[in-house]
Amino acid sequence: MRIGELAARTGTPARLLRYYEEQGLLTPQRRPNGYRDYGEHLVDRVQQIRGLLESGLPTRLIKNVLPCLDNPCSITISDAGPEVVALLRHERERMDARIACLSRNRDAIDAYLSKVTQRMPETTVTIATVEQRDAAVATAVAAFAADPALRWFLPGDQYSAEAGKMFGSLFDSRVGHGSVWVADGGAAVAMWDPPRSPGGNGVEHPPQSGRFGRYQSIVHTKLPKTPHWYLGVVAVHPDHRGRKLGRTVMAAGLARAAADGLPAYLETSNPKNVQVYRTAGFEVVEHLQVDDLPVWIMSVPAGPRTTS
C-alpha cells in the first residue's frame, strides 16, 4: 500500500510515518518503479510503535524493543549493552507505575458508575395521549427556542407568542394516529407522520401561513410520493439534555418504519444536527435553500419488512 493508505488506516500523519522510517522503525519494500510499498504487517507495527511512544519509551529504545514484538523474539544478547538494559528496566518500572495508577483510576470510575446507574431511573417511552399534550408542547417550545428554522418561521417576539400554537397544532394532527411518542412523560417528544394508506388516508395538517407555510410548500415537495415515515418534530427539554432522550424517543418511530419495510425521512436547518442524525442512521439525500434558510433532507433507507 502507499503511505497515504497506511496513514489513513492507522490514524497516523504521513509525516510521522516518514519519521518512523528515518528512525529505522519501519522498513517498506521498493516496487520496480521505485515507489515505497508498505506491507499489510506494517499496520500492526505502526500501532505498536505508537503504543510504545505513548508509554513514554523514546524512539532510540523502541528500535531495540521492536524485534521482541515479533514471535519469536529475534534479538540476541550481544545486541544490547548494559546501558540499554538499564534504560529499558527504568522505563519498565515507569510503565508498571502507570499501569497501577490507571488500574486504580479504572476501579474508581467503575465504583462511581455503579453508584450513579443504580440511582438513574430507566427511560420510559410510550405512545403519547392527549393528556400529555401540554408537556409535549412545552418541551418542543423550550427545545426549539434557538433553532434557526423556528426563528426564521417566527422572528422576534413572534416565537414566544406563536410557537405554542404551532407545536400544539402539529401534536393535535398526529396524536390520533398513534405516531407521537414521549419519553418520561414528555421530557422528550417525537412527532411522526405514518405512511398514507393506499386510499390516501393519513395525517392531515392544516395549511400554514407566512414563512412556515412557504417552507412546507417547498420542502415537502422534495419528500417521496411513495409510502414512508416522516419525522416532523423531535425535541428534548433543555432540563433533560445529556441523557440521549432524543435518540431514544426517535427510535420508536424508526422501529415502526423498519417493521413496515419503509424508509424514514426528516429535515433540519441546523447544521449541527446533521451529524447527530447521522449517528441514528440518517444520511443526507438533498441540500436546498428556502430563501436564506439552508435545509438538509435526510433519510434512513428501507430495510426488509418484518412480521410479528
Q: Are 260 and 236 in contact (CB under 8 A)?
A: no
**Predicted confidence pLDDT, tens digits, the chain (308 residues):** 889 889 888 889 989 999 999 988 888 888 888 888 988 989 988 988 888 888 777 887 787 777 777 665 655 555 567 777 787 788 888 888 888 888 999 988 888 877 766 665 678 999 999 999 999 999 999 999 999 999 999 998 999 999 999 999 999 999 999 999 999 999 999 999 999 765 445 677 767 778 888 898 899 889 999 999 999 999 999 999 888 899 999 999 999 999 999 999 999 999 989 999 999 999 999 999 999 899 999 999 987 766 54
Over the stretch 26-75, which tens digit does the pLDDT of each residue have?
888 888 888 889 889 899 889 888 888 887 778 877 877 777 776 656 55
pLDDT at residue 306, rounded to an integer: 63
Number of C-beta neighbours around residue 8 at 10 A: 12
Q: Are 235 and 268 in contact (CB under 8 A)?
A: no
pLDDT at residue 197, rounded to an integer: 63
- How far, in Å, are 42, 45, 86, 137 from residue 232 at the CA level? 49, 49, 67, 13
pLDDT at residue 260, rounded to an integer: 93
Going from the N-terminus, what domains does the chain have, and what CATH number goes with each? Answer: 3-116 (1.10.1660.10), 125-300 (3.40.630.30)
The burial class, CB within 10 Å (0-12 / 13-18 / 19+), for 25 is buried
Query: What's the whole-model pTM score?
Result: 0.60
pLDDT at residue 262, rounded to an integer: 95
